[in-house]
Amino acid sequence: MLLYIRLIRESFAFAMNALRNNKLRTMLSLLGVTIGIFSIIAVLAAVDSLDKKIQSDISGLDNRSMFLFKYCFGPSDVPDWKMDQFPDVTYEEYTFIKNNVDGVENVCFQYFTGNENVKFEEKTVSLVSVKPCTYEFVDIEKLEFEDGRFFNEQESNSGRNCIVIGHEIAEGLFGTSNPINKEIRLYGQRFVVIGVLKKVGERMISFGSNPDTTVYLPLNKVRTMFGENSNWFTPIIVIKPNETADLEDVKGEIQQKLRLKRGLKYGQIDNFFVNILKGATDQIQAFIGSLKVGGWIISGFSLLVGGFGIANIMFVSVKERTNLIGIQKSLGAKNKFILFQFLFEAIILCVIGGAIGLLLVWIIAVILTNVLDFEFILSFSNILLGTSLAAVIGLISGILPAISASKLDPVEAIRSGM
C-alpha cells in the first residue's frame, strides 16, 4: 500500500513538473480534455436543469390525467374539418362519467375560453385567463393557496358569484392589501374573491394557462349567464384515474360507455378523443433523452482529441526520461513500478484538465442562474461523472506510453540518454 501511495505522490510530482517545464505543450494537450469534459458536463447539467424545470412545471397536474373533448392533442387520422363537426362534451356527460366509470378518482368539467379584463374599482388587469370549472379542479391540478380557498361543491353546483385569483392578478388589482372578500368585476358582474393562489413563476412547459395570470370561477355560473352552446367556450372533461387503475383500461371503458351514450353504431368512428397527458410528458422525456445522446456524441469527439493529446505528451515524456527510466531499472525498479508511474501521471494530468472543465461549468452555471430566471444545476453526480471520465481518458491515453516505458531495457535506456 505504501508503495502505491509513493507511486501516486511521485507521479503527481512528475505531472506538476511537466506542467512547469513545458507549460504551453502541456496546456495545449490538456485543452482537449478540458473542452471534452466541459462539453459533456455542460450539456448534462443544462439538460438536468431543463428536466427539473419541466418536471416542476408539470408537477401541478398528474401526468395520468385524461382530457376528454372533441379534439386530439397529437397527430390523428381524423382531419381537422371533421373534428370541428364533432359534438362538444356536455355537463350531462361529465356527471355520467363521474357516476358510471370505474377506476376514476376525480372528474372535472371546465371551459376553455378567451382572455378577459378584470376590474377592481379604478384598476384593471388585462389579458386575464378565465377558467370556469367545477369544484374538483383544485384536486386535479393541485393548486396551492397563499390565502383563502377554492370554491366547494355547494358553491360550484349553485353557481355562486365567487372567484379565485392568481398571484399576479392579486398584485395588479390590490397591491399589498388583502383581496379576500373584495369584489371584482368580470363579464359585467361582481364576484367575491375567496382565494389567492401562491406564485408559480414562469413555466417552460404548460398544459393550459399559468395560474399566476388566471382566475377560476364556478362553471355553473357561466352556464347560467351564457347558456350551454355559447361559441365563446370549448368544454372539456378532465379525468383523474386512481393510482392503481390501468390507464388503457380506464380509457377503454370511457370510450365504450360514451359511445353507447352517444348512440354510435358499430363501424362508426369515435366523435371524441380521450387524450392522456402521460403521452405528452413521455414525448418531452424522449426529447430530453435525445438531447443527452446528442451532447454525448458531440462531446465525444472533443474527448477523443483530448485523449490523443494526452497520449502524445506521455510518449514525449517517456522519450525525455529514458535515461531516468534506465537508472531506476538498474537500481531494481520493476516493470510494474515504471508502468504505474507513467499511468498515474497520465491520469493525474487528465483529472487536472477535467477539474478545469468542471470549474468552467460551475462558473457559467452561477452566472446564468443569477442573470436569467432559471436555475442551472451542477449536481454531485455530474461532478463525479466528469472526474471519472477524465480518469478513464487518462487511463486509456496513458496505457500505451506506460507499457512502452516499462519494457525499456535498462542498459539501452541509460546509453540512449547519454
Q: Which three cell numbers stand for residue 227?
A: 347558456
Domain endpoint, select from 222, 242, 262: 242
Q: Same domain, yes or no, for 408 and 298? A: yes
Q: Same domain, yes or no, for 145 and 53? A: no
Domain endpoint, select from 242, 274, 302: 242
Q: How many domains does the chain have?
A: 2
Q: Same domain, yes or no, for 181 and 297? A: no
**Gap between the Cα atoms of 390 and 367, Å rounded:** 25
Which residues 6+ apart lie within 8 Å of 257 measured at CB?
96, 97, 100, 101
pLDDT tens, residue order, the chain (418 aa): 676 677 667 766 766 666 666 677 677 777 777 887 887 788 778 777 777 776 666 555 566 788 999 988 777 888 888 888 999 999 999 999 999 988 888 999 999 998 999 999 889 999 899 999 999 998 888 888 999 999 999 999 999 999 999 999 999 999 889 999 999 999 989 999 999 999 887 665 555 678 899 999 999 999 999 887 778 899 999 999 888 888 889 999 999 999 999 998 888 899 999 988 765 666 666 777 777 777 677 767 766 776 777 777 777 777 766 676 677 667 666 777 777 777 777 777 788 888 888 898 888 888 888 877 677 878 788 788 888 888 888 788 777 777 777 777 766 666 665 4
The distance from CA 182 to its chain's CA centroid, rounded to whole angstroms, is 39
What kind and span of H or E run contains 226? helix 219-226
In a domain, 96, yes or no: no
Q: Same domain, yes or no, for 288 and 238? A: no
**Gap between the Cα atoms of 297 and 288, Å rounded:** 14
In a domain, 247, yes or no: no
Q: What local confidence, expressed as pLDDT, does residue 357 receive?
A: 85
Report residue 173: phi and psi, to 5°. -95, -35
Q: Same domain, yes or no, for 327 and 378? A: yes
Q: What local confidence, expressed as pLDDT, does residue 293 receive?
A: 77
Question: For 167-182, b where at least 16 C-beta lie within 10 A, e where not — what string?
Answer: bbbbbbbbeeeebeeb
CA angle 68, 73, 78 (to 5 degrees): 90
Q: Same domain, yes or no, for 237 and 124? A: yes
The one-character DSSP state at 121 is T
In a domain, 75, yes or no: no
Q: Same domain, yes or no, for 325 and 410? A: yes
Q: Same domain, yes or no, for 228 and 342? A: no
Q: What local confidence, expressed as pLDDT, does residue 6 receive?
A: 72
Q: What local confidence, expressed as pLDDT, does residue 110 receive?
A: 94
**Gap between the Cα atoms of 186 and 120, Å rounded:** 9
Q: Same domain, yes or no, for 358 and 294? A: yes
Check: CB of residue 290 under 8 Å from CB of residue 284.
Answer: no
- Whole-number Cα distances in Å, 356 to 27, 30, 100, 362, 383: 11, 9, 62, 10, 12
Residue 337's domain spans which residues? 2-58+283-416
In a domain, 362, yes or no: yes
Check: CB of residue 44 under 8 Å from CB of residue 385.
Answer: yes
Q: Same domain, yes or no, for 394 and 309? A: yes
In a domain, 95, yes or no: no
Q: Same domain, yes or no, for 312 and 389? A: yes
Q: Which three cell numbers stand for residue 369?
A: 442562474
In a domain, 272, yes or no: no
In a domain, 31, yes or no: yes
Three-state DSSP at 188 gives coil
In a domain, 52, yes or no: yes
Check: CB of residue 261 under 8 Å from CB of residue 93.
Answer: yes
Q: Same domain, yes or no, for 208 and 287? A: no
Domain endpoint, select from 242, 269, 299: 242
**Gap between the Cα atoms of 252 and 257, Å rounded:** 9
Q: What local confidence, expressed as pLDDT, does residue 282 receive?
A: 65
**Gap between the Cα atoms of 376 and 226, Å rounded:** 47
Q: What local confidence, expressed as pLDDT, does residue 60 receive?
A: 54
